[in-house]
Amino acid sequence: MKNTIKQVFHSGKFLFGFIIFMLILLTVIIYPIFVTADPLAMLGQGNFFKPGTYASIEESALSKSYTLQIPKEFSKLEAVLDIETRAEIQQFLINQAGVAESEIDVTDAEGLVSLWKANYDQNTKYAGLTTAKRKALKRLDNEITAAMKDSGVIIAEKDEEGNLKQSKVIKDTDYVNIKDVTTKTFVLGTDNFGRDVLTELVAATKSSLKIGLLAGLIATAIGLLLGLLAGYMGGLADNIIIFITNLFTVIPSFVILILISYSVGDSARGIAMVGIIIGITSWPWTTRSVRSQVISLRNRDHVNLSKLSGHSMFRIIFTDILPYIASYVVMAMILQISSGILAEAQLSMIGLGPATTKTATLGLMMQWAMQYSAHLNGSWWAYFPVVILIALISFSLNLMNTGLDQVFNPQLRD
């Protein structure tokens, strides 16, 4: 036994897969110890806040400020006036305001802005502009006005009569130490409900692993039992079992999965239920392969010897046959776990997974990201880490499986 384990861990493929899987598993276990927040708490009011650290503006405005004479790399105005904007302004000045092209020098920011200010008026309706363009110019004008303002934002407070009273001026050299203010870091941003994607992702991986494990165990248990019985007993029992198995193999199991999930209804679909549903629809191929293995084993000498000794059928199955296919069963289970996780993701993506408000699963995260078209908005953090994680889990499990195969199947050794 010890030797086998040693051998297994000598396989590079297995080790690699094992390390990846363990890392995922450890993260899932350790992360919640440090981050105790509810993964389903809706923090952000809005869709898909981008990754980063969010600092409280109110506290920043009120807390102690430090004056830092950091040389600015470029003025605020230069920052607003990138090449495209300059071209836009030039176009406007020529087409709408009728300024001669020779008068415009796009390299001179100050000059361009003064020409802009002299010729642009927000309330005028310029001919030949689309509404979108008109609105864009209005926004540009606001940006230029803001950039031209001298340093200083005034903070004012309402007094008892409701009049505004200046309480503080914030200059552009004022800085705040990030440690002085409340911050919240979203390493992977937020999702469409405003939930922290990283925390949710960890919780989702946990439930997906649970579902996968449950589904894998159930599928393997059913498959193994039926396979052993069919293979060893043969005859009528074999015919009946293999008939049922063939039936299930012919009907795509995903269709059965959808039908069962739909009929179970939303209320009952927790993690356990989804795991069970996936488990009881994905056993046929384990049955078939276990059966064929058993058939080849049942005429071996040691089995015949046991039969002659009068051992009961169950004893023969469990002591003389099962150990010989144990390694195979373990490998089959790993594959079942991996496909269970994928099946959950597929189910949730069509809205037949567990309830959104009660659990986070990888599939549910994908489903909501798609519904709120994260893939169209460029909100990669809402779906890409999920995809990567699903891929990593399947990849590591499959790698472990191949590694095991090489160890247990001498034909495959290099």
Partner 1 sequence: MKRNLQKVMSILCMSAMTLSMLAGCGGGSGTTTTTETPAATEEASTETATETTEETTEATTEESTEEATEETTEDTSAAADGEATPRNETLYEAGQQWGTINDWNPMSANSNNGLAMAANESARELVYETLFMFNSLDGELYPLLGSEYSWNDDQTELTVKLNPDAKWSDGTQFTAEDVAYTFDTHVKYQSSVGADFSTYIESVEAVDDTTALIKAKADNLNPLKVTSFLNTVYMMQKAYLQKVEERNGEDADAVKQDTMEDMVHTGPYGPYISNDQKAVIIRDDNYWGQADSMWGKLPVPKYIAHTIYKDNAAGQVALSQGEVDVCQQFITDVQNLWLEDGLPISTWLDDAPYGACEVMPSMFFNTEREGLDQKEVRRAIAMAVDYEQIIASAMSGQSPTFDEYPRSVVGPTDGERKYVDFDAISDLQWSNADVDGANALLDEAGIVDTDGDGIREYNGKNLSFKAECPTGWSDWNASMEIVAAAGQNIGIDIQTYFPEASSFYDDMTTCNFDICMWSTPGAGVMNPYSKGMFYFSEEYAKLPSNWSGNFGHYMNDDAEAILKAIPTETDEAKLTEYYTELSRILLEECPAVALMYRPTLFYAVNESVWTNYPAADDGRNIPPTDCTDGYGIAALYDLELVQ
User: Taken in order 196, 202, 206, 212, is the CA torsion positive or negative?
Assistant: positive
Tell me the window of 43-51, 175-183, 234-242, 300-308 that interacts with partner 1 (CB under 8 A).
43-51
Stretch 341-370 residues interacting with partner 1 (CB under 8 A): 342, 345, 351, 355-358, 366, 368-370
Pairing label, strands 164-170, 66-67: unpaired
Per rule CB under 8 A, is residue 387 in the interface with partner 1? Answer: yes
Nearer Cβ to partner 1, position 201 or 316?
201
Alpha-helix residue ranges (DSSP H) falling in 299-373: 301-308, 313-315, 322-349, 362-371
Tell me the window of 59-67, 215-223, 249-257, 399-407 that interacts with partner 1 (CB under 8 A).
399-407
Binding mask 136-165 for partner 1 (x = CB under 8 A): x-xx--------------------------
Choosing from 289, 295, 327, 330, the residue that interacts with partner 1 (CB under 8 A) is 289
Tell the smallest beta-carbon distance from residue 349 to partner 1 (Å).
9
N residues, the chain: 414
Residue 162: how many CB atoms within 10 A of its CB? 6
Q: How far from 61 is each of 44, 57, 180, CA to CA, in Å?
A: 21, 6, 11
- Residue 403 · residue 8 · CB < 8 Å: yes
- Residue 351 · residue 191 · CB < 8 Å: no
Per rule CB under 8 A, is residue 245 in the interface with partner 1? Answer: no
- Residue 340 · residue 275 · CB < 8 Å: yes
Per rule CB under 8 A, is residue 27 in the interface with partner 1? Answer: no
Choosing from 16, 54, 324, 395, the residue that interacts with partner 1 (CB under 8 A) is 395
Listed in sequence order, the residues at least 6 apart from 21 whose beta carbon sits closer than 8 Å to its beta carbon are 393, 396, 397, 400
Residues that bind partner 1 (CB under 8 A): 40, 42, 44-48, 128, 130-133, 135-136, 138-139, 192-194, 265-267, 289, 328, 335, 338-339, 342, 345, 351, 355-358, 366, 368-378, 380, 383-384, 387, 390-391, 394-395, 398, 401-402, 405, 409, 411-412
